[in-house]
């Protein structure tokens, strides 16, 4: 059961990383850069709006849920080994924040790792509390978050929506140092999304943890029932509502990206976990590729944004400007090509190494200050394992 569950988590992470690029690729391929992210939602192109709808916010929410699952596994590992919690996990969160800051400055304006790092520090002190305490936190933060989104949406119209900095030629004609300088100068504006990511993350981190405890990945009737309920809520209810907001105009941007996608992500989690359980035989090429991306999720996330920058921005090949007349179809081709590339590279890398390159560096940075011994193959002598724990109260 344990090995199959690990594979399901790898598959889900791989899908989340691929889907995250499905959202970000529209930013990279827009000649106006991040300034046009919201403004583009008001354009009349029905096909592009539909394509954006397929990924917008949903895989970010799925990735956030999976971070919560990962935090639960870290907590279980600490409990199994009898070490203080959160203890060294706070060092892990600090590394994540630094990595996110570097990623933001050098590669991508809309990095999510910094927000996840801040969220993980808060949730680390909540994850071991009673179900009652966790439920109160989820309801309180969720209510405040929903009210904030509603308030901002009511006060926003398609005419008055502030889309941030004016469209410029920075991303088509600017140099790489100029883009880095712009990120430093506009860090307050570009990082304002953290105000929304952190409260959403608190709810979804805790929800991911509790779904894990409830047996959502188990081969049991309880797990199957839970997965069916998630699919109904996410795909039969959340998805149609999200489709409506996708075409409702830029005034509904916050609802379309942050409020309904988490519900859809729950449906996706239930669907993928169900299909993975029913699959028989050896995984095909696509599933193996997604599994390997899931095993190298951090490396793949950074790699996809770096490659997209090099392809689209003026300091690279400048395809965002030269192929703008071929939207939206060339955007799909760019997404598929980058996905195929990092699926292939992750597969080749894992034939020789246990972890992705960034994951290997991360493991060293996490373990070295603790003085935890490794065996010759690079693994800790007592590696963290997924273990079953009682969730009865």
What are the pLDDT digits (tens) for 316-348? 999 999 999 998 899 999 999 999 999 999 999
Strand partners, 380: 374
Dihedral of CA 312/313/317/322: which sign?
Answer: positive
Helix/strand/coil (H/E/C) assignment for every residue in 58-116:
HHHHHHHHHHHHHHHHHHHHHHHHCCCCCCCHHHHHHHHHHHHHHHHHHCCCCCCHHHH
Distance, in Å, from the CA atom of 143 to the CA atom of 157, rounded to the nearest integer, reads: 23
Contact status, residue 296 vs residue 355, Cβ threshold 8 Å? yes
Residues with Cβ within 8 Å of residue 309, at least 6 apart in sequence? 28, 107, 108, 316
Contact status, residue 28 vs residue 320, Cβ threshold 8 Å? yes
Distance, in Å, from the CA atom of 225 to the CA atom of 27, rounded to the nearest integer, reads: 38
What are the pLDDT digits (tens) for 333-389? 999 999 999 999 999 999 999 999 999 998 898 888 877 655 444 444 443 433 333
Distance, in Å, from the CA atom of 302 to the CA atom of 107, rounded to the nearest integer, reads: 8
Distance, in Å, from the CA atom of 60 to the CA atom of 23, rounded to the nearest integer, reads: 9
Residue 336 in tokens: 């598929």
Q: What is the mean pLDDT of each run of 10 residues along the chain (393 residues)?
A: 69 96 92 66 70 92 96 93 92 94 94 95 96 96 95 70 58 92 91 93 97 93 95 96 89 91 97 89 88 95 95 94 92 96 96 93 86 50 38 36
Distance, in Å, from the CA atom of 334 to the CA atom of 3, rounded to the nearest integer, reads: 34
- Predicted local distance difference test score (pLDDT) of residue 278: 85
Distance, in Å, from the CA atom of 10 to the CA atom of 217, rounded to the nearest integer, reads: 12
If one counts every other C-beta atom within 10 angstroms of the C-beta of residue 277, the result is: 16
Residues with Cβ within 8 Å of residue 174, at least 6 apart in sequence? 182, 313, 314, 315
What are the pLDDT digits (tens) for 134-154? 999 999 999 999 999 999 888
Upstream peptide bond of 328 is cis (omega within 30 degrees of 0): yes
User: Could you tell me the CA-to-CA distances from 219 to 62, 275, 278, 317 in Å, in that order?
Assistant: 21, 12, 10, 48
User: Could you tell me the CA-to-CA distances from 98 to 102, 108, 233 in Å, in that order?
Assistant: 6, 14, 36
Distance, in Å, from the CA atom of 157 to the CA atom of 135, rounded to the nearest integer, reads: 34
pLDDT, mean over the chain: 87
Distance, in Å, from the CA atom of 257 to the CA atom of 254, rounded to the nearest integer, reads: 5
Residue 266 in tokens: 């729950």
In this prediction the pTM is 0.89
Contact status, residue 269 vs residue 230, Cβ threshold 8 Å? yes
Helix/strand/coil (H/E/C) assignment for every residue in 191-248:
HHHHHHHHHHHHHHHHHHHHHHHHCCCCCCHHHHHHHHHHHHHHHHHHHHHHHHHHCC
């Amino acid at each position: 059961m344990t090995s199959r569950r690990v594979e399901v988590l790898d598959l889900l992470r791989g899908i989340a990383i691929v889907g995250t690029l499905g959202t970000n690729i529209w930013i990279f391929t827009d000649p106006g850069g991040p300034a046009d992210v919201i403004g583009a939602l008001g354009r009349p192109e029905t096909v592009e709006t539909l394509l954006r709808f397929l990924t917008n916010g949903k895989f970010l929410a799925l990735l956030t849920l999976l971070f919560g699952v990962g935090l639960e596994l870290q907590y279980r590992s600490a409990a199994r080994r009898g070490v203080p919690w959160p203890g060294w996990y706070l060092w892990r969160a600090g590394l994540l924040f630094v990595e996110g800051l570097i990623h933001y400055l050098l590669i991508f304006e809309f990095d999510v790792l910094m927000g996840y790092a801040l969220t993980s520090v808060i949730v680390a002190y909540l994850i071991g509390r009673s179900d009652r305490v966790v439920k109160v936190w989820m309801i309180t933060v969720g209510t405040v978050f929903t009210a904030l989104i509603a308030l901002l949406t009511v006060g926003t119209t398609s005419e008055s929506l502030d889309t941030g900095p004016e469209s410029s030629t920075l991303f088509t004609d600017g140099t790489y140092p100029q883009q880095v300088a712009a990120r430093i100068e506009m860090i307050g504006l570009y990082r304002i999304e953290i105000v929304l990511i952190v409260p959403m993350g608190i709810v979804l981190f805790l929800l991911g943890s509790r779904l894990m405890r409830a047996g959502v990945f188990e081969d049991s009737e309880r797990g199957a029932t839970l997965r069916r309920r998630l699919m109904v809520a996410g795909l039969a209810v959340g998805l149609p509502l999200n489709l409506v907001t996708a075409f409702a105009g830029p005034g509904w941007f916050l609802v379309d990206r942050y409020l309904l996608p988490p519900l859809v992500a729950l449906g996706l989690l239930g669907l993928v976990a169900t299909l993975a359980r029913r699959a028989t035989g050896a995984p095909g090429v696509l599933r193996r590729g997604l599994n390997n991306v899931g095993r190298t999720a951090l490396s793949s996330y950074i790699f996809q944004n770096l490659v997209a920058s090099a392809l689209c921005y003026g300091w690279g090949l400048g395809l965002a400007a030269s192929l703008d007349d071929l939207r939206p179809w060339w955007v799909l081709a760019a997404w598929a090509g980058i996905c195929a590339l990092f699926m292939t590279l992750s597969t080749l890398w894992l034939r020789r190494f246990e972890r992705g390159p960034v994951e290997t560096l991360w493991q060293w940075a996490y373990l070295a200050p603790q003085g935890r011994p490794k065996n010759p193959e690079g693994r800790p002598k007592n590696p963290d394992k997924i273990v079953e724990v009682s969730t009865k109260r």
